[in-house]
Amino acid sequence: MHPEVPADSIDIPTGAWGNFYDLNTGELAIGMVFKSKDHLKASVQDFSVRFARWEYRVVESKPKLWKVACKYDQQTGCSWMLRGIFQPNMGLFKITKYTGPHTCLMNEISVEHGNLGKSMIATHLLGMVRQDPAYDIKYVQQNVKDRFGFEISYHKAWQYLKAAREQVYGTWESSVKKLPRFMAFLQKLNPGTIVEWLNLETDRPGVQMLHYVFWAFRPFIEGFRSCRNIISVDGTHLYTKYKHKLLVAVTLDANQQVLPLAFALVDEESLASWRWFLQMLAKHLLPNDDDRVCLISDRHSGLIEKVIMSRPIARFLARVSLSDWISSPELSQSSTSCSILLYCHKNITLQRYACEIYGTTT
C-alpha cells in the first residue's frame, strides 16, 4: 500500500513560513518547508520527473534527515544536491541545503525515469480510479506519458493500476474479510434481506474459509409472489484474483421487466454449487410444498437433471429451440411456451433452452 502524499506543502498554515513548493512552477529552494518527510520526498520526486527530468539517488535517509544527490555525480562531478532536516521548533521539514541546477550532461535521453516509481504513479491514478473503478489499463500508459513525459511498459502500467485500486478499494483478501460486515450492514439497511453462508473449516481454530454466500432482498422476494412462476438462472465470471462466480436468479414482472430475485457468490460452477443455490431458492422463494415453478436455464441438461432440490419433486424436462418454436403451431400457440420463449428471446442469446417444472410428488 502506498500512502497518498501530495507533492506540495500548501496545506501548511501561512504566517512565519511562506516558502512553499508550487506544483505549477516546480521550483526548489533553501528555506522551503514541508508538512512531513514524505511531502518533501514527493515534491523532490515531482521536480525531478516533471521539470528537471534528471534522476537523483538517496545519499542518506533518517527519520529526521533526508539527503539526495544527482544520480551521475560520481561519474560527471555534477554538484546538484538537496538536504532536508526536521525542525523541532517548527514541527516541519525544511530544505537547509540545496545546490542546483544539474551541471551534468547526459549522453543519451532515456524514455524512462528511474525516480518515476510505483508510489508516484499510483498516487496520480487515485482520482481516476475513484471516479471509475473499471479504469482501463490501456489508458494508463498514455496518461502517464501525458502527465510526466515518460513511457512505462504494459507490465508496469498493470502494477501501478493495481496498486491504485488496492489503495482505494483494498485487496481481494481484505474485501473478502469485510464481506460479513457488508452483508450485516445490508441486512440492517434493508430489513428482511436474507443472507445464507456456507463456510469451510480450516486448520486454524476459529478461522473459516468462504465457500458460498447467498442473498436475496425482501422486496424482490415479495414481488415474486405477484409474478408468473418462471425463474431464469444463470452464472457469470467475476474475473477476480480467485475466479469466483456469481449465480443469479431473475424473473419477469407484469410489465415484462426483469426482476432480480437472488444472488450467490460461489468458488466455481459445479453440481454442488448449483444444487446449493437452487436449494436456497426453494427455501426462501418457494416456502410451500405445493409451490410449482418453471425453471429456465442455459446450463447443460445433465446439470439440471442431477441437481436435487431440498424436497421430493416431480420433473418435467422440456428442451426447445427458437427454430422449433417458430415452425411448430402447437408450441407457438401455447401461452406458456410463448411466455417462456419470449423471455428467452429477450434475455438469453443461446439457441437452446431447458426448463424444468418443480413441484411435490403425490
Report DSSP state, residue 13. Answer: P
pLDDT block averages, 10 residues each, the chain of length 362: 54 59 85 90 88 88 94 87 93 91 66 74 85 86 84 85 86 85 92 92 83 94 88 84 87 89 91 88 79 72 51 36 44 42 37 34 35
Edge-to-edge strands, sheet with 81-87:
33-34, 92-99, 81-87, 65-70, 56-62
What crossing angle do the helices spanning 118-131 and 137-148 adopt, rounded to 10°?
120
Greatest Cα pair distance in the chain: 95
Task: Supply the pLDDT for residue 308.
Answer: 46
C-alpha cell of 116? 518515476
Contact predicate 83/98, CB 8 Å: yes
Query: Which pTM value belongs to this model?
Result: 0.58
Task: Supply the pLDDT for residue 289.
Answer: 61
Task: Supply the pLDDT for residue 265.
Answer: 93
Angle among Cα 21, 164, 22 to the nearest 5 degrees reads 10
Task: Supply the pLDDT for residue 145.
Answer: 84
